[in-house]
A and B are shown apart, each in its own frame.
Chain A
């Protein structure tokens, strides 16, 4: 009995029914760029970095189910341009000063910027005024760096069983909030929460551990995000 398969950039790859395009690609050794996706969490399709064209329609590969004979385009110039623009949007929307950020070298947004060849955004910086909430004794939220990926929200809800974080507001005013009250210290969030590790950027951090790994030995210093594989 042959396994079901789909075509990814001209290559036939197998998939397990129920898998998303992104998972099927990953199992076949093709890494599709992504930010909000994290294995073990319910996919939410919010960052849109993982867009691919499936049977001619542009979809988020982290949410779209793989299907028999589906023709998926991932590594094309126009999709690459789109992904670049989306990552640029995230850079200019917030205040991302990599040189002073504790997450530098560990940051998935920064690493993706490098991998996609973004030297400087062509979009205009918005320089929003955002807050830092350091009210909690052990953790902090720097809203300047938050990319609204919902990883902490989903991890806290589904893995920590807490719902310590929630989204409030809408549109450009949407932001992450400590769910119980206005300040982080009022929540059930704890330094041992898996939600803290879920943050792909330097928005949710443990205090007193920044810059512990020297430059040159940080995860993305040696190997780009997603490894050396195809699928920029």
Chain B
């Protein structure tokens, strides 16, 4: 079958009504059909969608799941997150590599297979995991990796790799994934029983201002990690002038070690969509967008179906939640970029651009998606909103601690006996959480993912809440056999890779810290290097343009705070005034080589 590039592009552009802000969808569609977005396709998109080549090229080269050169029929993306590494990623990656005869990053000569690495795909509770196209393959072993390749060679259908379906909606005909929910402890708020339509009925009885008041009375704060009060965010968007407003749901769950939104989207999608509808009513928006990370593409058809059923059941569309109002939702797919979890980068991405965060002000509530007032809320936050309307503000705020009302979902993985999702009230001590999940030998804990903090046993009495140990929900447990410096190093590699590169401190700082750690780990560090780490971290925190660079030094800074002695055993003062990191032989290698070449030339 031959595909004409022009034909594929034409079809893709038609499917979005030639809307240039839907460039991401066009690029994704072209990638799906051609295996990449080659120069000819970029040219065709430029002509048909009337966007500059610069914009197309910039977009394609930005996202990990888009390629400029057409790739292979099967792209296997092996997740190399820290948790996967603890669970045997190296053996799995080697097995794939050996079986295919190509290194990570390679493509087989016949163009059938490409093998790539990828950051956390939201499956830390069933690691090591990989993506074969859109199909998630979990609990991998070296043997299983070899089988995957053999099966793909035999039948060529990634979906047939799924032998045993997961629980709940993972077995839904539109999902059919081997993913398991691993709900270890459900709670009274987010993962409680949901009566479809009830929240919207109650919402319809209130005015928009009363809805905002209910959310404020419940003292709901954003669950993505930053903890901004949801009611105030909504008030700002409501007050902002503009006839067209938007509600964006951030389902770009990219923080390594986080997977609770995956479970909410699988089992409580109606609660998420109800929350968006309520938000729309509150701020005066008629349109919503769910930004779904590319790694969760396997949930897309299912979520589209949930939306379709809501439309036919009168829970979306005209006169929702009551006469004279309306609301509808579309799904925007991402294409592999952690930074798009940052709200202004997410908006840029929705508009078909590189995921570069924006300068603020203006804030999204003033000027967001398509220049209109926009609220961006996390999946879990929106579930809380629905629950607040269902059960009332008091039932919500009675749980949790003083500054942190309600419950928090935790994604727990690493060295624990019961990895999975836990709903706990805010204010729960870390040690109680460890007891719940079976993390008996925990010596280090990454709270809130790599952008959060690494804590040691001295902090285990502290509590999970906004004013003590805040977290977006990731909790990765490390036992006494793990080296905090190596963990920090792996996380710095992640940030180096995921920085958008827009501003200097983040683009350069992550690299400097990663290299600095390598120097210390190699036994070539000096005490002054540790001071420099702190200096770089201070500069990144204060001067970076968005939340990524303002937190990405944390693996180094917080491991230095919690495990300083481990650093100190590795560094020493330089002898004879020569830097310990200086290696005379390697520094003069080039000159030595040139001298040899010159001598050779002189002789001939």
Query: Would you call A86 and B54 a contact (CB within 8 A)?
Result: no
> Is A139 engaged at the interface, CB distance under 8 Å to the other chain?
no
Q: Are A148 and B61 touching (Cβ within 8 A)? A: no
A89 to B509, Cβ gap below 8 A?
yes
Instruction: Tell whether, in the assembled complex, residue A171 and residue B503 are in contact, meaning their CB atoms are under 8 Å apart.
Output: no
A60 at the interface (CB under 8 A from B): yes
Whether, in the assembled complex, A174 has its beta carbon less than 8 Å from a beta carbon of chain B, the answer is yes
Q: Say yes or no: is A228 at the interface (Cβ < 8 Å to chain B).
A: no
Known contacts A163-B54, A170-B354, A86 near B359 by CB under 8 Å: no
Contact with A along B483-504 (1 / 0, CB 8 A): 0000000000000111111111
State whether the Cβ of B136 lies closer than 8 Å to any Cβ in chain A.
no
Distance in Å from the Cβ of A79 to the closest Cβ of chain B? 9
Over the window 78-97 of chain A, the binary record of Cβ atoms lying under 8 Å from chain B Cβ atoms (1 yes, 0 no) is 00011001100110110000
Question: What residues of B have a CB within 8 angstroms of the CB of A153 in the complex?
Answer: 54
Q: Are A51 and B542 in contact (CB under 8 A)?
A: yes
Query: Within 8 Å of chain A (Cβ to Cβ): is B53?
Result: yes
State whether A172 and B539 are in contact (beta carbons under 8 Å apart), knowing that A46-B545, A163-B54, A179-B54 are contacts in the complex: no
Number of residues in A with C-beta < 8 Å to the partner?
44
Compute how far the CA of A126 lies from the CA of B513 in the bound complex, rounded to whole angstroms. Answer: 12
- Asked whether any CB of chain A lies closer than 8 Å to the CB of B361, the reply is yes
Residues of A within 8 Å of B592, CB to CB, are none
Chain A residues lying within 8 Å of B408, measured Cβ to Cβ, are: none
Q: Find residues 39-67 in chain B having any chain A CB closer than 8 Å to their own CB.
A: 39, 52-55, 57-58, 61-62
CB-CB nearest in chain A for B511: A172
Q: How far is the CA of A203 from the CA of B57 in the complex (A)?
A: 21
Q: Is the CB of A168 within 8 A of B61?
A: yes
Minimum CB–CB distance for B9 against chain A, Å: 17
Contact: B62 with A170, CB < 8 Å? yes
**Residues of chain A lying within 8 A (CB to CB) of residue B354:** 167, 170
User: In the complex, what distance in Å separates the CA atom of A174 from the CA atom of B62?
Assistant: 9
- Does A123 contact B512, Cβ atoms closer than 8 Å? yes
**Contact partner, B542, options A58, A179, A181, Cβ 8 Å:** A58
Measured CA separation A181–B512 after assembly (Å): 32
Q: Which residue of A lies closest to B516 (CB)?
A: A124
Give chain B nearest CB distance to A85 CB in angstroms: 5
Known contacts A93-B508, A166-B57, A179-B53; is A171 also within 8 Å of B545 by CB?
no
Q: Which residues of B contact A82 (CB under 8 A)?
A: 538-539, 542-543
Most buried by A among B55, B497, B505, B544: B505
- Say whether, besides A163-B53, A171-B498, A45 and B503 are in contact (CB < 8 Å): yes
Tell me the smallest distance from the CB of B43 to a CB of chain A, in Å: 9
**Sample of 7 more A-B contacts, CB < 8 Å, known A51-B543, A148-B501, A177-B57:** A89-B505, A147-B504, A167-B354, A169-B61, A171-B499, A172-B501, A179-B52
Chain A residues proximal to chain B, CB less than 8 Å: 43-49, 51, 58, 60, 63-65, 81-82, 85-86, 89-90, 92-93, 122-124, 126, 147-148, 153, 157, 163, 165-174, 177, 179-181
List, sorted by A's number, 22 A–B pairs whose CB atoms are closer than 8 Å: A46-B502, A46-B504, A48-B503, A51-B542, A58-B542, A93-B507, A123-B532, A124-B516, A126-B515, A157-B54, A165-B54, A166-B55, A167-B58, A169-B61, A170-B354, A170-B501, A171-B498, A171-B499, A171-B500, A171-B501, A177-B57, A179-B53
